[in-house]
Structure 1
Amino acid sequence: MATKMNGVRGLSTAVAAGLGLVTGALAGLAVQRRALDVLRVRLEQLEEQVAHTDHHSNLASQQHLHWELLSKAIDSPELAEVLDIFEVPASQQKRRQYLFANALYTNLLFYYRIGNLSREEFFGRVRGLLQNPVVKEYWFATQGQRATLPEDSDEADLGRMVDALLRQLDEADVEEWWVVGEPPVE
């Protein structure tokens, strides 16, 4: 009988040891699985950051090219005629001023797109720009161009915001222009 018990105990010990090994292996696999999940999430985050950085780089390159083209047109009346797409006829001087107003507005637009300006900051800067009569004229002279923007685009949305602000500034009966209009909610 003693021999039988030793065999059963030996078998129980072997089964317990086997279960221990299996449990340890499963625990190890669970730890590896969690580590792989963490690595996968981190890899996805890095891929998003790279895409975001590429997007910002592309926007910066586009802004640089835009400025180069506008600079050439501002410096050359012949080239500026190519960009004369305003609602009303403009003299050479006025066309150059409109092109520069376009450069200022586009700069703010790019700053907003890359995240250097919040929507509220964009609103405040545009409110300041609209204090200049040439910028106001430019805005009205280009309303047809903005009408062609896709309705759901950021640029169209910001354009509508500027239109509303311009109406509020025109209707305001205060000299403190910097308090006119409600900054947009982010």
Structure 2
Amino acid sequence: MATQKFGVQRLSSAATAGLAFAVGVLVVLAAQQRRFEALRLRVAQVEQADGRNARLAEQQRFQTYLLEKALDDQDLAEVLSTINELDPTRRRQYLFANALYTNALRAHRAGDVNWDELHGHLRVICQSAIFRDYWDATRHHRASLKERSQEARVGQMVDALIRDLDESDTEEWWVVGEPPSEQD
């Protein structure tokens, strides 16, 4: 009987060890499965972002193409411009001012410049009297933007920059104005 009991204990110990090994393998497999799922989701996010960036780049190229056509042809510029009674030179200048602003905005959206860098780029653009005229003439265009949208916040940044530059008593324009926090 003692031999049988010893055999059962030995079998029980082997079964326990086997069960512990199996549980360990299952824990490792579950952890690997979670890691694999996290990696799969990350790859899907990167692929989605790459597709979005490719579409944005294509849209930017097409917008640039349309702008070039409008800048080269006064009749087409009249279609693209929403401001009436501009002489052809001023219309081309306004279209170019819009292109500069749009380029800065899209560089931020693409992640090429951060919020503070965008502020710096816009501060340079706001030095132009023609850009300021364009900005004032297109104020009504921005009135329909949702207040918390990214473009509305960037527009508010430009408004503040122009105001700060106008009120500044220094010739060192490159130090005027602080960027608002990105969440404002």
Please report the TM-score for the alignment, with normalisation by the length of structure 1.
0.94
In structure 2, the partner of 1:105 is 101
- Output the CA distance in 2 between the equivalents of 1:131 and 1:61: 30
From 165, 168, 184, give the equivalent of 2:164. Answer: 168
Task: Quote the RMSD (CA, aligned, Å).
Answer: 1.2
Task: Please list, as runs of the form range in 1=range in 2, the aligned pairs for 1:99-178 lying within 5 A after superposition.
Answer: 99-178=95-174
Structure 1: runs of 5 or more not aligned: none
Cα offset, 1:84, TM superposition? 2.5
* Paired residue secondary structure (1:29): helix
How much identity, in percent, do the aligned residues show? 40
Cα offset, 1:173, TM superposition? 1.1
Cα offset, 1:149, TM superposition? 1.6
Task: Please list, as runs of the form range in 1=range in 2, the aligned pairs for 1:52-131 lying within 5 A after superposition.
Answer: 52-86=49-83, 89-131=85-127
* Paired residue secondary structure (2:127): coil
* Paired residue secondary structure (2:169): coil
- Output the CA distance in 1 between the equivalents of 2:144 and 2:174: 30
In structure 1, the partner of 2:175 is 179
- Output the CA distance in 1 between the equivalents of 2:147 and 2:48: 25
- Output the CA distance in 2 between the equivalents of 1:39 and 1:55: 24
- Output the CA distance in 1 between the equivalents of 2:44 and 2:148: 27
Q: Which amino acid aligns with 1:137?
A: D
Structure 2: runs of 5 or more not aligned: none
How many residues are aligned here?
A: 182
- Output the CA distance in 2 between the equivalents of 1:50 and 1:97: 38
- Output the CA distance in 2 between the equivalents of 1:104 and 1:42: 39
- Output the CA distance in 1 between the equivalents of 2:24 and 2:145: 57
Please report the TM-score for the alignment, with normalisation by the length of structure 2.
0.95
Moved over 3 A (4+): none
Cα deviation digits, residues 19-43 of structure 1 (max 9, x gap): 1111111101111111111111111
8 Å Cα contact 2:157-2:179 kept in structure 1: no
- Output the CA distance in 2 between the equivalents of 1:144 and 1:35: 56
- Output the CA distance in 1 between the equivalents of 2:58 and 2:15: 63
